[in-house]
Structure 1
Amino acid sequence: MKALLIFLSCCCCTGLTAFAQPAGFDKKLADSLGADAYGMKSYVLVMLKSGTGNPAKETVDSLFRGHMENIGRLAKEGKLIVAGPLKKNDKNYRGIFILNVKTVEEATALLQTDPAIKRGVLVAESYGWYGSAALPMYLPYHNAIEQQSH
């Protein structure tokens, strides 16, 4: 009987630790970032491809200035978490965005504010993506190491 009680006590204690939060868990931070129980959340991943629009060079330069300004605006608003070009590839992918929105529809609305996308110089393919809710936290560090702005 004593052995049974010890066994059951061990099972209960072990079972309870399975529901314990990891050491260092910060509920306030997790909530502020919109994290689920796994520290994750939904985003939208955007793959930017070369479009069929082929305006004059001066127009392309102007559209890409607007594209970069739009990236800056969306980042300041907290809507754009990651942006960057891709190296030359056979799929005509030009860059990626990770948008801090939950749906492709929300992403589509934001993408329509980009002049290069509106004019067809870039085409956006959007996909739901599930990643770390802490992803936006790198942005202040990037600003601290950026010597030159685009």
Structure 2
Amino acid sequence: MKKFIFALILFSLFLSCKDESKASVLEINEDAKAISKEIKDSVVVESEAIIEKVVPKTTKQIKEELTAKGFKTFDYVDKKTQDTILMQQYFMAFLKRGPIRGQNEEESAELQALHIAHLKKMYDLGYADISGPFGDDGNLRGITIYNVPTLKMADSLANSDPMVIAGRLNIEIHPWWAGKGFPLR
């Protein structure tokens, strides 16, 4: 509305400054209506461009996309809800205490920083969905769940961890099935 009033004022000033005969009120009103229509049309076009309708994918579409990328899946119908549940194979990497634990405090801290950076990179690239340490001081140190299509890929990514390369951790990987899209609670 402010744009319309501003445009109308500018237009009126422009016409009043002309040496030629002044426009009639009727002409000014017609021009003002045209400007108003242009402004309204542009606002509608802008607002339509901003609003996007999100259409959720069907289980069938998700399954087709995953299969095309090489993931293993299966689905079943929940007897109680009659919902189709899509199961996807992930790979759970168990990080175990490695044979080389003699690093000094400074080296250990540097390896830990590199380890965390590696896990963050895996998450940012979409290769890992969740990682974390165990809360005790046992032989199992933590897990990472890889969201990749093959065991070979999960193994390669897990073994590129600086802690594994340094021998401070070992990796043990197992295929693991989970319902696609089910969040942690």
How high is the sequence identity, in percent, across the aligned residues? 27
Measure how far apart 1:108 and its partner are.
1.5
2:93 maps to a residue whose letter is: V
SS at match of 1:61: helix
Bigger relative CO (Cα 8 Å, ≥ 6 apart): 1
Residues 44 and 128, structure 1, Cα contact 8 Å, conserved in 2: yes
Taking the aligned partners of 2:112 and 2:59, their CA distance within structure 1 comes to 40
| Structure 1 unaligned residues grouped into runs of 5+ | 1-23, 140-150
Residue 128 of structure 2 aligns with which residue? Answer: 80
TM-score by length of 1: 0.65
Cα deviation, residue 33, structure 1: 5.4
Contact residue 93 and residue 145 of structure 2 kept, 8 A: yes
1:105 aligns with 2:143: no
Distance 2:109 2:65 in 1: 39
1:70 alignment partner, one of 118, 121, 127 = 118
Superimposed CA distance per residue, residues 10-56 of structure 1 (whole angstroms, 9 cap, x where no aligned partner):
xxxxxxxxxxxxxx954334545555334011111111111121211
For 2:66 and 2:99, locate their aligned partners in 1 and report how far apart those are by CA, in whole Å. Answer: 38
Cα offsets for 1:40-77 (capped at 9, x unmatched): 11111111111121211111111110110011110011
Count of residue pairs brought into register by the alignment: 113
Mark the CA change 1:131 to 1:26 in structure 2 (over 3 Å): closer, same or farther. closer
Q: Pick from 111, 127, 143: which aligns with 1:96?
A: 143
Match of 2:91 among 44, 48, 53: 44
CA distance in 1 between counterparts of 2:88 and 2:62 reads 13
CA deviations on 1:61-103 (whole Å, 9 max, x unpaired) are 111101100111100111001101111154x111011101233
Distance 1:26 1:42 in 2: 15
Structure 2 residue 109 is matched with structure 1 residue 61: yes
Aligned-CA RMSD value: 2.4
Structure 1 or 2, whichever has the larger Rg, is 2
For normalisation by structure 2, the TM-score amounts to 0.54
